[in-house]
Structure 1
């Protein structure tokens, strides 16, 4: 019994010591975990993007190498482009040809429109002139016909009587003048009158004789009728007037001809408008083909999809590559981010949009970012409870923080320390 009792005391002391050690170790672990939960770490991460040609072909130029920093839109490589460049020139020639046809069609349209307007004016002028010519010719025919009819019918009795009266009066005046002249000539021989008086009477005698002869001719015409040659002359003039009337009426028909010319010019105008539309359609088609060819030509240059660094190169000059083949793999420096993992007990209402303060481990520089997502981590990140009373499973959450402007030349992969929400 004396031996057993010391052993019991020793065992009890060992259990008490072990328990104290375990409690101390657990408290130390808990303190470490608390520290890790309060200031977790993460790495600066970036997306990797592939740079690929949109068309296939043979690589003729490689303009960058692995490790080079490039800017968005920078030319990284080129494909052989002779055939596509030839298609671009061919398309440009087609555009120029279509534009030439448009100019030609517009010129034809202007010419046709001018002819149309000229024809319209000609119709108006011709119509007015023709009507005037017809009216004049009709008046000439009526006058000539009246002349012929008058010659054929001869003088009327009233006209004959009037001619006789005029002849008798002229004869009496003539006889009286003749007697005066004879009496004055006798007196001149006796020296009773001057020669000047004789000259005056002789002039009166000659005038009376002329009027008597004219009245005699008119009386003869009224009595005997017109001569045959006068009738033939008047009839010839009538036929000439009728011919002029026929010609004027024929000229009136030219109005219809000119109206037909106007209609033909209008048709030519419409045809020219159609040619313009057709040429413009051809121009649009040629421009579309040119744009397509130029677009394909632009595809022969491989442009950097974003700012970043060339990580790897998968093709060399002279190799054939297909469309979509990743010639370069790039690490983008646009929109870099870090992902922290925190237990749910440390979230304290953290949400998207919160500003976070961080420290760069290597340099101690302070950075600021914005929480973009708060998502539950996979099951392997869950802290499992022990059999001790009061402990439960604790889930971890991935906190993705978008990094704003980073210090120049900050490499991707640097370690960041979580400081907590940014004040203000």
Structure 2
């Protein structure tokens, strides 16, 4: 074969290759084969434990590498001033509660007394207006008769005792007692007669008017007592406010004790005793690696082979055997291009999609940040099935 023929063949081969890449742009892409590993890194649930209130650090009770459980105390802030504020709030609440009770009891007593006074004044006024009923007149007359009999008996006993005393048969004390009884019976008789006389005569107009004035006065006193109940509402509001202050102060004191919200291993101790911290400032960083995952990026032409829940093999640097994990997440959108388009060739960017493969780590062998390789399963794309 001469040199001209050889050169022609070479030129033809170049032209055919160029035409092929122009007509079929996907021929320029390098594909990831099934089973070819993807590089990723081990990740766990990482979180910071922060102070909820500002203050000075008193103690940090954990160090890097310590395992903490949910609810475990990891640090304390100085709380002396906050405890003093809490005690003051409790004292104010106790005072408010006493004031509320005393006010309520006083007002209730005033209202009850005012009602009783008004009822009595009205009854007296009505009695004076209407005059005595026949039954009352009969009762008054019977009282006079009864008092008269009692007086007659007492007077007779007094006279007999006087004679016995004169003869020396009784003591002076018995004579004096008999005389006192006679005097008392006479006074009772006079009062009964006066009451009967008043009942039979009826009330005078000025007495009726005076009784009406007492009714009006008692009614006004009752309204004033009822109006004073507003003081009870004010005292109740003050008590509620004092209770809220106690709860807020108690929360501040409680928040000086900083607890782990969940289990994990301390990866960083960020403050030392004596340092001032602001609310929200992290005290320690913790990672939970009981269950970890490997995050990797899958080329777009391999995404259709993946299904959530399917098992995938993972190898970890420093661990001899491969591990089996479960695919728990596939990104819904592309992340970035692993190969930029070649515009001269009519190609386009090759994108990747993030995935997470979850691994059990009960023995704690896997550490956050370890390099891992995820092996894609063999099989046809779902679009090819």
Q: TM-score range by the shorter chain?
A: 0.5 to 0.7
Q: Deviations over 1:254-300 (max 9, x none)?
A: 232133123212211220x1111001110111112112212222221
Cα distance between partner residues in 2 of 1:37 and 1:349:
12
Residues 306 and 334 in structure 1, CA contact (< 8 A), matched pair in contact too: no
1:257 match: 214
Cα distance between partner residues in 2 of 1:413 and 1:130:
102
Change (3 A) 1:329 1:119: same
Change (3 A) 1:292 1:302: same
* RMSD over equivalenced CA pairs, Å: 3.9
Aligned residue among 349, 352, 356 for 1:401: 356
- Give the TM-score normalised by structure 1: 0.58
Cα distance between partner residues in 2 of 1:281 and 1:337:
55
How far is the alpha carbon of 1:247 from its aligned partner? 5.2
Change (3 A) 1:394 1:251: closer
Please give the secondary structure, in 1, of the residue aligned with 2:239.
helix
How far is the alpha carbon of 1:80 from its aligned partner? 0.5
Instruction: Structure 2: state its 5+ residue gaps.
Output: 11-27, 138-193, 380-385
How far is the alpha carbon of 1:41 from its aligned partner? 3.9
Q: Deviations over 1:296-319 (max 9, x none)?
A: 222212232443321111221222
1:87 match: 85
1:190 match: none
Cα distance between partner residues in 2 of 1:36 and 1:420:
6
Aligned residue among 240, 243, 254 for 1:287: 243
- Give the TM-score normalised by structure 2: 0.63
1:159 match: none
Change (3 A) 1:252 1:421: farther
How far is the alpha carbon of 1:335 from its aligned partner? 7.7
Change (3 A) 1:37 1:347: farther
Cα distance between partner residues in 1 of 2:206 and 2:233:
44
1:185 match: none
Change (3 A) 1:241 1:330: closer
Residues 132 and 200 in structure 2, CA contact (< 8 A), matched pair in contact too: no
Change (3 A) 1:252 1:342: same
Asked whether 1:75 is paired with 2:73, we answer: yes
Cα distance between partner residues in 2 of 1:356 and 1:393:
30
Please give the secondary structure, in 2, of the residue aligned with 1:291.
helix
Please give the secondary structure, in 1, of the residue aligned with 2:331.
strand
Cα distance between partner residues in 2 of 1:69 and 1:118:
73
How far is the alpha carbon of 1:399 from its aligned partner? 1.8
Cα distance between partner residues in 2 of 1:56 and 1:49:
20
Cα distance between partner residues in 2 of 1:67 and 1:242:
102
Residues 266 and 284 in structure 2, CA contact (< 8 A), matched pair in contact too: yes
Please give the secondary structure, in 2, of the residue aligned with 1:323.
coil
Q: Deviations over 1:100-157 (max 9, x none)?
A: 1221122122212211331232133212321354899xx9xxxxxxxxxxxxxxxxxx
How far is the alpha carbon of 1:383 from its aligned partner? 5.9
Residues 337 and 400 in structure 1, CA contact (< 8 A), matched pair in contact too: no
Q: Deviations over 1:78-116 (max 9, x none)?
A: 110011111112112222222212211221222122113
Residues 343 and 396 in structure 1, CA contact (< 8 A), matched pair in contact too: yes
Cα distance between partner residues in 1 of 2:359 and 2:239:
49
Please give the secondary structure, in 2, of the residue aligned with 1:44.
strand
Cα distance between partner residues in 2 of 1:340 and 1:242:
111
Please give the secondary structure, in 1, of the residue aligned with 2:43.
coil
Q: Radius of gyration: which is bigger?
A: 1
Matches within 5 A, 1:151-230: none
Cα distance between partner residues in 2 of 1:264 and 1:332:
72
Q: Which has the higher strand share?
A: 2
Instruction: Figure out how many residues of one structure are paired with residues of the other and give that number.
Output: 290
1:267 match: 224
Residues 72 and 259 in structure 2, CA contact (< 8 A), matched pair in contact too: yes
Cα distance between partner residues in 2 of 1:334 and 1:85:
38
How far is the alpha carbon of 1:59 from its aligned partner? 1.1
Change (3 A) 1:125 1:36: same
Please give the secondary structure, in 2, of the residue aligned with 1:412.
coil
Q: Deviations over 1:46-87 (max 9, x none)?
A: 354332213322211111111112234432111100111111
Aligned residue among 48, 54, 57 for 2:55: 57
How far is the alpha carbon of 1:393 from its aligned partner? 4.8
Change (3 A) 1:241 1:368: closer
1:197 match: none
Instruction: Structure 1: state its 5+ residue gaps.
Output: 16-29, 140-236
Change (3 A) 1:241 1:403: closer
Residues 314 and 375 in structure 2, CA contact (< 8 A), matched pair in contact too: no
Aligned residue among 118, 121, 131 for 2:119: 121
Asked whether 1:321 is paired with 2:277, we answer: yes
